[in-house]
Amino acid sequence: MDKQQLSKDILKLVGGEENIDQVTHCMTRLRFNLNDNNKADRTTLKNTPGVMGVTENGGQFQVIIGNEVSEVYKALVNNMSMSMKPNAEGGKKQRNPISALFDFISGMFTPILPAIAGAGMIKGIVSILVALGWMTNTSSTYIILSAVGDGAFYFLPIILAISAAKKMGSNVYVGAALAAGLMHPTITALLQEGNTSFAGITVIATSYASSVIPIVIAIWIASYVERAIDRITHSSLKLIVVPTVTLLIMVPLTLIAIGPLGGIIGNGLSGGIRWLFDNASIFASILIGGTMSVLIITGMHYALLPLAVGSIATLGYDFIIPLMFAANMAQGGAAFGVGFKSKNTQTKSLSYSTGLTALMGITEPAMYGINMKFKKPFIAALIGGAVAGAFLGAFSVKAYFISTVGLPGAASYVGPDISNLLYALIAALIAFVVASVITYILGFQEEVPAPSALSATIPVVAEDTKLQDEQIFSPMSGEVKPLSLVPDPAFSEEMMGKGFAIQPAEGRAVSPVNGTVFSVSKSGHAIGLVSDLGAEMLIHIGIDTVKLKGQFFSPKVQAGAKVSVGDLLMEFDREEIEKAGYNMITPVIITNMDQYTDVQSAGRTKIHEKEWMYTVKV
Instruction: Give catalytic residue positions.
Output: 26, 540
Q: Which residues contact 502 (CB under 8 A, 6 or more apart)?
A: 474, 475, 476, 478, 479, 480, 481, 585, 586, 588, 607
CA separation for the pair 389, 288 (Å, rounded): 7
Please, what's the b/e burial string for 500-534 (b: 16 or more CB within 10 A of its CB; e: otherwise)?
Answer: bbbebeebbbbbbbbbbbbbbbebbbbbbbbbebb
The pair phi, psi for residue 479, each rounded to 5°, is: -105, 130
- Map residue 482 onto helix, strand or coil: strand
Helices then strands, each counted (H, E), the chain: 22, 20
CA distances from 598 to 253, 385, 468, 592, 615 (A): 67, 37, 12, 11, 8
Largest pairwise CA distance in the chain: 101
Cβ atoms of residues 385 and 289 within 8 Å = yes
For 567, phi then psi, to 5°, come to -65, 140
Q: What share of the chain is helix, strand, coil (3-state, %, to 5)?
A: 55, 15, 30
Q: What is the distance between the alpha carbons of residues 510 and 206, in angstroms, rounded to a whole number?
A: 83
Q: Name the H helices within 367-487.
A: 372-374, 376-394, 419-442
Output phi, psi for 608, to 5 deg: -120, 165
Contact 269, 307 (CB under 8 A): yes
Strand order in the sheet with 562-563: 562-563, 515-520, 526-531, 536-540, 586-590, 498-504, 478-482, 606-607
How many Cβ atoms sit within 10 Å of the Cβ of residue 63? 29
Instruction: Write phi, then psi, for 35 (nearest 5 degrees).
Output: -70, -35
Please give the Cα distance from 398 to 265 (Å, whole number). Answer: 22
415 in Cβ contact with 396 (< 8 Å): no
Please report how many Cα atoms fall inside a 13 Å half-sphere around the Cα of residue 468, on the Cβ side: 5
Contact indicator for 367, 327 with CB cutoff of 8 Å: no
Strands (E), 93-242: 196-198, 201-203
Rounded Cα gap, residues 430 and 326, in angstroms: 8
Q: Do 344 and 447 form a contact (C-beta atoms < 8 A)?
A: no
What is the CA 70 to chain-centroid distance, rounded? 12
431 neighbors 400 (Cβ within 8 angstroms): no
Q: What is the Cα–Cα distance from 210 to 157, expressed in whole angstroms?
A: 7
Spatial contact of 224 and 230, defined as CB atoms under 8 Å apart: no
How many CB atoms sit inside 10 A of residue 354's CB?
Answer: 29
